[in-house]
Structure 1
Amino acid sequence: MKLTRTLTLCLALAVTPLVHAASSDQNAQLKQRLTKVLGIKIQSLSAAPIPGLLQAITSHGVLYVTEDGSKLFHGNIYDVNNDMEDLTEAAMAGPRLEMLKPFESKMLVYKAKNEKHVVTVFTDVTCGYCRKLHSQMEQYNDLGITIRYLAYPRQGVPSAVADEMESVWCSKDPKQAMNDAEVGKKVLLAKCDADIASQYQLGEQMGVNGTPSMILSDGTMVPGYLPPKQLLQSIEMH
C-alpha cells in the first residue's frame, strides 16, 4: 500500500478517537481499529521509544500511534544519545527474521564453504547492481558469507521480469539459470510453485523499495549494493 494512502486513511482515526489503550484488552481493540481503518495486518502493539506513543509492527512496516488512538504517524525514530541509532529499523529486525522463515525452502542459496554469515538478498535479474553483486559471488563466499536469493521483480507481478524470474526458480538447475540470467542470457520458460508473487509481497512488507536489498542475519535491512569486504564490515558492525 502506498504511503500516501496510509496517511490519508490515518486521518480517519482522528474522527473517532478510542479510549485509553494502556491495557492489553484496550490494545487489542486498538489493533482491531487500526486493521479496519488501514486495511493492513497489525502484528504487535507495544510501548514506543517515545512516552505516550505505541509502536505498531505491521505488514507494511512500523507505525506509531498515540495511546488514545486518535493520531498516527509513519516515520523513523532516532536515538540522538546513541550515535543516531535508528530505533524504527531495530524494531523491525526480529519480525523480519520471523517473516523469512516460511520462505527458506524457496530461496536460491549460494552457500559459503566456511559459512560465518548468512545474508538474504531481494534481487531482480535485470538490475545492474544485482548483476554486479552476483558477479562477485565467489568473493562473498570466500569471506564466509552465504547469499540467499528471494525474487523482487521491480516491475511487480505480473510482469515480464516476474515471468523470467519464475523460469529461473523453476529451472532444472536454478542456480545455473540464475547465473545465465544475471549475465543477460535467455532462460528457458518454466513453470512451478515458486510463487514469485509471494516473494515480491514479502519484500514490500519488509520495506524493500529497490534491488538489491539485503537482510542481515540479525534482521537489519541494508538497501543497495555493497562490495564483498564492505558487506562483511557492515555485518560485523551489527
Structure 2
Amino acid sequence: MKLKHYIVAMSAAVMLVGTGLTIAQTPQETAVKKLVEPRLADGIKVDSVTKTPYAGLYEVRVGSEVLYTDEKAQYLFIGNVIDAKNGVNYTKARTDDLSRVKFSDLPLESALKMVKGDGKRVIAVFEDPNCGYCKRLRKTLAGMDNITVYTFMYNILSEDSAVKSKNIWCSADRNKAWEDWMLNGKAAAPAQSNCVTPNDKILALGQKLRVNGTPAIFFADGSRVPGALDAKGLEEKFASLHNVKVN
C-alpha cells in the first residue's frame, strides 16, 4: 500500500477531532511540521510535532495516531517504538494517553446502568445490539460481581441497530430488555413512535471519542480497551487501577 493511501486510511479510521488545545512547539518542531505535512495525503493535517528523546525521531501526531519522522522529514516511520532493553512500547503508551477520556464528562444519564454487588468497580461500554463480541462481553459481565456497567447503545453495525436500541430504551425495564436481547436473543417489543431516545447523541459521542468498533470499554481512570475482554482480563485491569486516581 502506498504511504499516502495508508495515511488516508489511518486518518479516516481515527476520525480526526480537534482538541482545542494549543501546544507550544520549538522552532525546529515547527519546521519539521511544515516539512512533513505536505508529504502526507492531501487534506491530512498534523496536530503536533514533538521531538522524542529516542533515536533523534520526531513524533508526528494525527488525531490519536502517532508516526515518526527525522529532522528533515525525509523518512516516515509507521509502527511501534519499543525499548530493546526493557520491552517498553513507547508508541502504545503514547497512543493510550492520547485516547484517554475524562470519565466524569461522559453523559451517563444516556446510558443503561447495571449495578451488581457493591458496584465499586465502574466501566462504561459502547455496544451495538447486533455485535457478536458485545454479546460475548455481556455474558462475561453477567458472571462478575461488585461492578457498575454503563452501557451506551452505539448503533454502527447495521440499519436496524438503531431500531433495536430504541425498542430497548423505550421498554419499561431497559436493563432487562437489554439483557434479554444480548444474552437470550429475545427482542424487545416495538417502541411507540413518540418515544425519545439518545441514539443520535450517543452516535455523535462515539464519533467524537473515535470509537471505531464495538465493544469499547472505558475505565474510571479514563483509559480504554477496544474489544471484548474476558473475565481474567477485566479482573487484571481492575487490579491495576486499584491505586490509580480517578479523573
TM-score range, shorter chain: 0.5 to 0.7
Structure 2 residue aligned with 1:149: 151
| 1:22-41 equivalent positions in 2, closer than 5 A | 22-23=26-27, 26=30, 30=34, 33=37, 37-39=42-44
Work out the CA distance in 1 between the residues paired with 2:207 and 2:85.
35
Moved over 6 A (4+): none
Q: What's the offset of the Cα at 1:229?
A: 3.9
Report the RMSD for the aligned CA atoms in angstroms.
Answer: 4.0
Name the SS for the 2:91 alignment partner. Answer: helix
Q: What's the offset of the Cα at 1:134?
A: 1.9
Unaligned runs of 5+ in 1: 11-20
Structure 2 residue aligned with 1:215: 218
Length, aligned pairs only: 215
Unaligned runs of 5+ in 2: 11-24, 242-247
**1:118 touches 1:216 (CA, 8 Å); kept in 2?**
yes
Cα 1:162–1:86 change in 2 (3 A) is farther
1:18-68 CA distances to partner (integer Å, 9 max, x unpaired)? Answer: xxx7339827965995899444683x543446332124151xx32224345
**1:109 touches 1:146 (CA, 8 Å); kept in 2?**
yes
Cα 1:166–1:198 change in 2 (3 A) is farther
More helix by share: 1
Deviates further, 28-37 or 146-155: 28-37
Q: What's the offset of the Cα at 1:232?
A: 0.5
Name the SS for the 2:135 alignment partner. Answer: helix
TM-score by length of 2: 0.64
Name the SS for the 1:111 alignment partner. Answer: strand
**1:167 touches 1:191 (CA, 8 Å); kept in 2?**
no
Name the SS for the 2:207 alignment partner. Answer: helix
Structure 2 residue aligned with 1:56: 61
The code of the aligned residue for 1:194 comes to N
Q: What's the offset of the Cα at 1:184?
A: 1.9
Cα 1:27–1:154 change in 2 (3 A) is farther
Name the SS for the 2:204 alignment partner. Answer: helix
Higher CA-based Rg: 2
